[in-house]
Amino acid sequence: MPKFARVITIGEQELEWLSLGAAVFGAGGGGDPLMGTLMAQQAIRTHGPATMVGLDTLDDDDLILPVAMVGAPTVMVEKFMSGDEGDRIRERIENEIGRKVAALSSAELGGVNGVIPFAWAATSGLPIVDCDLMGRAFPELQMTTAAVAGVDINPVVITDERGNLVSFTTATPKWAETLVRTVVGAMGGEASMCLYPMTVAQAKQAAILNSMSRALEVGRLLHEAEDDPVGALCAAVEGFPLVVGKVTDVNRQTTEGFAKGSATIEGTGADAGRTLRMEFQNENAVLFEGDSVVASVPDIITAVDVHTARPIVTEQLRYGHRVSILALPCDPIWRTDEALAVVGPRTFNYDIDYIPVEELNG
């Protein structure tokens, strides 16, 4: 039996673990998962637990619907979902494609989108597939393994709490990004969506498999770890602890939907004397030591609390935080030239070649 052919029941406790794990893979972005977690927990209280299944439990021809919230997490703390959005999107897709959806999936493992699909899964009774399209958080709709694998993003359906629904047919995933953002703005800054509807057979090629159960296990481990949580986390995710130190400076600015900036980390203990700079664009993008690159996108750079190993999102980074900066190798699917053209350092305006974190720090 392949290890992903299994069924996991996702109750309120599992949601807590998932939200922690999803924040580790969120690379500092993806938004605070709290609202998504509360929504999913409420849906589970009302409708019963959600079910997460491996791809092999489904038929190759079954239709999978990746879903997500899109827009500003800052808006979602005030105006969050009605709870009907998931069903409305799914019904529209089923009408357009003329087939039933067999399972939902997360489009993005990271922050709020690591947990929100479970709200819709619990509500609809459909299972969630143990995979996603990023293996981490990324800021734009074309930055998916599905786009790299050539899966059609269409139809893209977005809806708001009022019942406004727009179905897009877009020329490219990048166009979907542009058009969806415009409508999301008109809807009040956040909305619910689906994208890249695909068959199980396609997902086996185009998705990052087992990523959700991995996040669940990482979250559980963080929840339970007592001695050396950072070490336990690194072991679990094959991560590289790049520096232990103190945040001594944080610069931020917002431009065109990106919270850009950098944090300076001065090493302490065994790392005393080292100074690193972590640059972020919603997510952490590149870690520099002087002029040298220590880690970069698409590898996952995450700041965690040095004592508890709890991940710290970029919005919460501030002077005095004691952090350990980890880099997790991204899924190999991201390391081809085609994929790096979509999510490599140059797409974030860094004129550097991507070198895998294990080569930089081997």
Partner 1 sequence: MAENAGGHRLGIDVGGTNTDAVILDADQAVVAKHKASTTADVVGGIVEAMGAVLDASGLAPGDIGRVMLGTTHATNAVLERRELATVATIRIGGPATKSVPPLSTWPDELRSVVSVGEVIVDGGFEFDGQEQVPFDEAALEAFVSGLDVVPDAFAVSSVFAPVSDAHEQRAAEIIRAHHPDARISLSGAIGSLGLLERENACVLNGALMNVAASIVAGLEQALSHHGLSATPYFAQNDGTLMAIDRVQQFPVLTIGSGPANSMRGAAHLTGLSEAIVIDVGGTSTDIGVLAAGFPRESTIPVEIGGVRTNFRMPDLLAIALGGGTIVGDQATVTVGPESVGHRLTTEGRLFGGSTLTVSDIVNAAGRASFGSYPIEVAAGTVDAALDRIDSMLEEGLDRMKLARSDQPVIAVGGGSVIVPSSLEGASEIHLPENFDVANAIGAAIAAVSAEIDQLFSIEEEGREAVIEGAKQKAIDAAVAVGAEPAETEIVSLEELTMAYMTDNVLRLRIKAAGPLR
CB closer to partner 1 out of 155 and 185: 185
Q: Exactly one of 3, 100, 252, 307 binds partner 1 (CB under 8 A); which one?
A: 252
Burial class (CB in 10 A: 0-12, 13-18, 19+), 113: buried
295 bridge partner residues: 287
How many residues at the interface with partner 1, by CB under 8 A? 54
- Cα–Cα dist 361/295, whole Å: 8
> Minimum CB separation from partner 1 for residue 335, in Å?
26
CB closer to partner 1 out of 110 and 329: 110
> Minimum CB separation from partner 1 for residue 3, in Å?
33
Q: Exactly one of 95, 205, 254, 336 binds partner 1 (CB under 8 A); which one?
A: 254
Could you say which residues in the range 210-239 bind partner 1, by CB under 8 A? none
> Minimum CB separation from partner 1 for residue 232, in Å?
24
Burial class (CB in 10 A: 0-12, 13-18, 19+), 189: middle
Could you say which residues in the range 187-206 bind partner 1, by CB under 8 A? 188-189
Q: Find tokens 């924040």 and name the residue.
A: 23
Residue 183 is a binding residue for partner 1 (CB under 8 A) = no
Determine the residue type at 109: L
Tell me how many degrees the CA angle 181-347-280 measures, rounded to the nearest 5: 80
Residue 269 is a binding residue for partner 1 (CB under 8 A) = no
Residue 319 is a binding residue for partner 1 (CB under 8 A) = yes
293 bridge partner residues: 288
Q: Exactly one of 47, 57, 72, 94 binds partner 1 (CB under 8 A); which one?
A: 72
Q: Exactly one of 2, 5, 12, 77 binds partner 1 (CB under 8 A); which one?
A: 77
Q: Exactly one of 79, 100, 150, 224 binds partner 1 (CB under 8 A); which one?
A: 79
CB closer to partner 1 out of 256 and 291: 256
Interacting span for partner 1 (CB under 8 A) from 53-61, 199-207, 298-306, 319-327: 319-327
CB closer to partner 1 out of 62 and 85: 85
Could you say which residues in the range 128-147 bind partner 1, by CB under 8 A? 139
Residue 175 is a binding residue for partner 1 (CB under 8 A) = no
339 membership: H or E segment, kind and range: helix 337-343
CB closer to partner 1 out of 11 and 185: 185
Interacting span for partner 1 (CB under 8 A) from 8-16, 68-76, 144-152, 194-202: 68-76
Asked if residue 206 lies in contact with residue 146, where contact means CB atoms within 8 angstroms, the answer is: yes
Residue 305 is a binding residue for partner 1 (CB under 8 A) = no
Asked if residue 200 lies in contact with residue 62, where contact means CB atoms within 8 angstroms, the answer is: yes
List of residues 6+ apart from 162 with CB closer than 8 A:
none
111 bridge partner residues: none
Map 106-131 to HEC letters. Answer: ECCCCHHHHCHHHHHHHHHCCCEECE
- Cα–Cα dist 144/137, whole Å: 10
Asked if residue 153 lies in contact with residue 195, where contact means CB atoms within 8 angstroms, the answer is: yes
- The Cβ of residue 225 has, within 10 Å, a number of other Cβ atoms equal to 16
> Minimum CB separation from partner 1 for residue 262, in Å?
13
Tell me how many degrees the CA angle 209-134-162 measures, rounded to the nearest 5: 110
Residue 67 is a binding residue for partner 1 (CB under 8 A) = no
Residue 359 is a binding residue for partner 1 (CB under 8 A) = no
- Cα–Cα dist 16/20, whole Å: 6
Residues that bind partner 1 (CB under 8 A): 29, 31, 35, 38-39, 42-43, 45, 70-75, 77-84, 119, 139, 160-163, 181-182, 184-185, 188-189, 246, 248-249, 252-254, 256-259, 261, 282, 314-316, 318-322
